[in-house]
Amino acid sequence: MGLSDERIPKLFGLLLLFIAVYLTIAFVSYLFTWKIDQDRVLRFSWKLLSEDAATVDNWLGRLGAFLSNFFIYFCFGVPSFLLVYFVGRLGLNRLRRAALRPMANLFVKLMLATIGFSVLLSFVFGSLTDFPIGGGIGDYLVSHLSGVLGGFGVILLLLLLVGLYLVFEARIDFNGSPAQIRADVVDHFSSIFRGKQPARGTSATRNAPAAAPAGAALSPTLPRREGNARILAPGGTDDFEVEGPQTLSEKGLEQLKGEQMEMPMDSVGDLTLVTQDPLAVGADNLLVADGDTGIDTSLAVTEENQDHSEPYDPTLDLPSYESPHLQLLVEFDNQKQEVDRAELEANKDQIIETLLNYKIEITKIRATIGPTVTLYEIVPAPGVRISKIKNLEDDIALSLAALGIRIIAPIPGRGTIGIEVPNKNPQMVSMREVLESEKFRTAKMDLPLALGKTIKNEVLIADLAKMPHLLVAGATGQGKSVGINSIIMSLLYKKHPSQVKLVMIDPKKVELFPYAKLEAHFLAFLPGQTEPITTETTKVIHILNSLCIEMDQRYDLLKKAAARNIKEYNEKFVARRLNPEKGHKFLPFIVLIIDEFADLIMTAGKEVEMPIARLAQLSRAVGIHLVIATQRPSVNIITGVIKANFPARIAYKVTAKVDSRTILDAGGADQLIGRGDMLLSNGGDVVRLQGAFVDTPEVEEVINFIGNQRGYVEPYLLPEYNTDEEMAGSGSLSYADLDDMFEDASRLIISQQHGSTSMIQRRLKLGYNRAGRIMDQMEQLGIVGPAQGSKPREVLVYDEMELTRFIDDLRNKG
């Protein structure tokens, strides 16, 4: 029986945990038994282990006595406990199969701390006690240092070391008040011990964009080294000076010469952060600030229940639910793929030459190596106009003639030009590595999506809740289905079934089919629906309208709770300030996923388009978000109405520039290279990403893992949508019956969201009777609610497009 790869690190982890516990007990015991045991241990040394005659008092026997004496007496004294802590952490790390790199960092830090503390303890307490408090190493260093620096000098040295640590590692800003500085220091150390990335800088500056560390720089004036090609790992950055003075960054080259730079894929190494990435917009930039939800809550009646017992925990509905673990996903071993120095040089030369052909001189080229493409950022010579390069974009691309060249002229916010050239050996970005990344694991977003990696190898996590809807388009076979799966996987990995529900629509009946197994956990559908994934167009229309009703109902709940959005509402509910007996309930986010909406638009047109538009316009505040995908990026599918309501868009490779324009309002998607290479646009910024890859078997593993667990007894049902009722409402009314001013009056009422007859009278200069008749017609069509005495009527339609649909329907009925 062989052990699978997966189990070996776990076994190792368990062993390390055992060692950590063993050493802890032995060390604690040493504190009490050292005096009695020390003679015996020193007498026998390591022979103690085989000397049956020797007896010791250490709670863990001769081995315990030997090891604790070795570490505490001979080595580091009491700070030896820090090393035991490290062994424990390493054990946990192996057990969870997390990234190893942070462990190396932790080891270095703990080692330095151990030595530092042993010196400190020896120095301060060494002469006061017989106990080897700072250990042999601490005593040795203190005796030598005091000889050289004197006692006072040692104190100063220790203070200097502490100061250096606080300035360089903890990045404490000493400008703050003493309390603030203290809080930052405590924060820093506690985050180390909690195993988080230590907090750096002050609480005030911590959220500011990271300062850019210096990067590696290479000069093209250096001899070419083909044949002796230096290897650069993806994410590395290279500068080439074309002319002009050598820059300081030359130093970087000297340090890097002949070295092989490898970067772990789950982190952004120093090299990648040479500059604030001109293209890669971090997740924060993608987030749209919570806007006004349009609900006037000032008059709303708050139904607050003053029960301040334990907060409500929605996850207790399924208390034993276990989120899928990362081992269900495949770990790709592709860290070895690198970009060849010769490849970089050749591309650089070709770019310079091509530009020279067009009489464009440049002063500097910098290369940033991403997983799929390398970005060459060019600084044009003074006097060269960016517009000239922009105009020559197509010619330049043609001259460079490699598939997938994209020119960004200029890179937004910088006076430079970007040329992206595909790497010979593109690197796969696995779902597992993005989900495993610190960024995803610590993401505090409502609906985090791990989309892939930027040109700088940074994992990009976007919050769907803030997008707030996503349009995904691209030609067939370029990665759209994989992309949709990675979006769903992100949610499944991060969320409990009580927190998010998925409504899935799949007219092609293939892509989303496996998710049916999540029926009792993550899916939401209509009552009486036999297949949890909706495929038929008529059902799709029902489900979309049902979601509109769900949205309206949620708005009502929010209004009653005087909450502006789902977050505020749920916060109140969790704090038990809303009474469930009055209809309040915890509201999960709802994500509607439509894989291939082209077929729907083609067959049902406005009937599908309008509820999608209505949802997209209004559903954000109540936690309903849409992800719609198509492989037919033409204007009759991605209509103006759809586009206007989906600011966040993903484009995979398309065949023609016009398709790219249809999706993104910009070219570029036609120059992608496929296989998950994509552009993410969020209201203007376009970021190139290599999408995370997840294969169907992996998806199935995750689905089975969840599906085989106990789920809800009742699935999450959306409100009934009854077309008959709607028909009955307008049944007696035909288009011809409508008043000539009906449309104008309705538009007025909807735009003002104020259902008053006197307003129609006043604004449209109509008599009382006529205005009243129009109001009745509106009620019959369900545009406004019934009369409420002297109060204005409730307006039931939120936007004019919905009105257009009503009127079109009526007109078509004749």
Ligand X SMILES: Nc1ncnc2c1ncn2[C@@H]1O[C@H](COP(=O)(O)OP(=O)(O)OP(=O)(O)O)[C@@H](O)[C@H]1O
33/454 with CB nearer ligand X: 454
492/781 with CB nearer ligand X: 492
In angstroms, what is the minimal distance from the CB of 632 to ligand X?
10
**388 has binding-site annotation:** no
Rounded to the nearest 5 percent, the helix, strand and coil shares of the chain are 45, 15, 40
What values do phi and psi take at 172, rounded to 5? Answer: -80, 135
C-alpha–C-alpha distance, residues 713 and 761, integer Å:
54
191/655 with CB nearer ligand X: 655
Q: Cα 561 to chain center, whole Å?
A: 30
C-alpha–C-alpha distance, residues 641 and 616, integer Å:
10
Count, residues in the chain: 814
- Amino acid at site 808: D
In angstroms, what is the minimal distance from the CB of 396 to ligand X?
28
372/498 with CB nearer ligand X: 372
What values do phi and psi take at 454, rounded to 5? Answer: -80, 180
Q: Please name the residue that has the structure tokens 């701390």.
A: 113
In angstroms, what is the minimal distance from the CB of 631 to ligand X?
4
**454 has binding-site annotation:** no
Neighbours of 309 (CB within 10 A): 6
**138 has binding-site annotation:** no
215/474 with CB nearer ligand X: 474
In angstroms, what is the minimal distance from the CB of 674 to ligand X?
7
689/810 with CB nearer ligand X: 689
Look at residues 106, 96, 396, 343 and name the one whose alpha carbon lies nearest to residue 231: 343
334/399 with CB nearer ligand X: 334
Contact indicator for 258, 293 with CB cutoff of 8 Å: no
Contact indicator for 521, 504 with CB cutoff of 8 Å: no
In angstroms, what is the minimal distance from the CB of 450 to ligand X?
12
347/478 with CB nearer ligand X: 478
Contact indicator for 99, 264 with CB cutoff of 8 Å: yes
77/371 with CB nearer ligand X: 371
C-alpha–C-alpha distance, residues 312 and 150, integer Å:
62
481/490 with CB nearer ligand X: 481
**320 has binding-site annotation:** no
Tokens of 663: 């999706």
For the chain, how long is the longest CA-to-CA vector?
Answer: 115
C-alpha–C-alpha distance, residues 308 and 353, integer Å:
72
**475 has binding-site annotation:** yes
**479 has binding-site annotation:** yes
C-alpha–C-alpha distance, residues 296 and 307, integer Å:
26
Collapsing DSSP states into helix, strand and coil, what is residue 495? Answer: coil
C-alpha–C-alpha distance, residues 498 and 312, integer Å:
12
61/674 with CB nearer ligand X: 674
134/371 with CB nearer ligand X: 371
In angstroms, what is the minimal distance from the CB of 691 to ligand X?
4
C-alpha–C-alpha distance, residues 608 and 611, integer Å:
6
Tokens of 7: 């189990």
Tokens of 241: 């000076």
In angstroms, what is the minimal distance from the CB of 428 to ligand X?
5
343/506 with CB nearer ligand X: 506
In angstroms, what is the minimal distance from the CB of 60 to ligand X?
51
Which residues contact ligand X (rule: CB under 6 A)? 428, 474, 476-482, 631, 675-676, 691-693
Could you please report the per-residue DSSP string of 351-363? HHHHHHHTT--EE
The residues near 308 (Cβ < 8 Å, ≥ 6 apart) are: 575, 576
**219 has binding-site annotation:** no
Helix 80-96 to helix 101-125 angle, to the nearest 10 degrees? 170
**668 has binding-site annotation:** no
In angstroms, what is the minimal distance from the CB of 333 to ligand X?
15
In angstroms, what is the minimal distance from the CB of 534 to ligand X?
18
In angstroms, what is the minimal distance from the CB of 280 to ligand X?
17
Distances (CA, A) of 287 to 42, 444, 590: 64, 12, 19
Could you please report the per-residue DSSP string of 717-744? EPPP--HHHHHHHHTT--GGGS-TTHHH
- Amino acid at site 384: V
What values do phi and psi take at 366, rounded to 5? Answer: -125, 135
In angstroms, what is the minimal distance from the CB of 342 to ligand X?
25
* Residue of minimal Cβ distance to ligand X: 676
Q: CA-based Rg of the chain, rounded to a whole angstrom? A: 33
The residues near 296 (Cβ < 8 Å, ≥ 6 apart) are: none
621/678 with CB nearer ligand X: 678
Tokens of 617: 């316009």
> Phi-psi region for residue 801, left (φ > 0), alpha (ψ -120 to 50) or beta?
alpha
C-alpha–C-alpha distance, residues 745 and 741, integer Å:
6
Map 35-82 to HEC letters: HHHHHHHHHHHHHHHCCCCCCCCCCCHHHHHHHHHHHHHHHHCCCHHH
In angstroms, what is the minimal distance from the CB of 373 to ligand X?
13
Q: What DSSP designation does 528 have? A: T
Query: Per DSSP, what are the bridge partners of residue 593?
Result: 504, 627
In angstroms, what is the minimal distance from the CB of 697 to ligand X?
12
In angstroms, what is the minimal distance from the CB of 505 to ligand X?
15
Collapsing DSSP states into helix, strand and coil, what is residue 659? Answer: helix
215/676 with CB nearer ligand X: 676
Q: What residues form the annotated binding site?
A: 474-481
Binding residues for ATP: 474-481
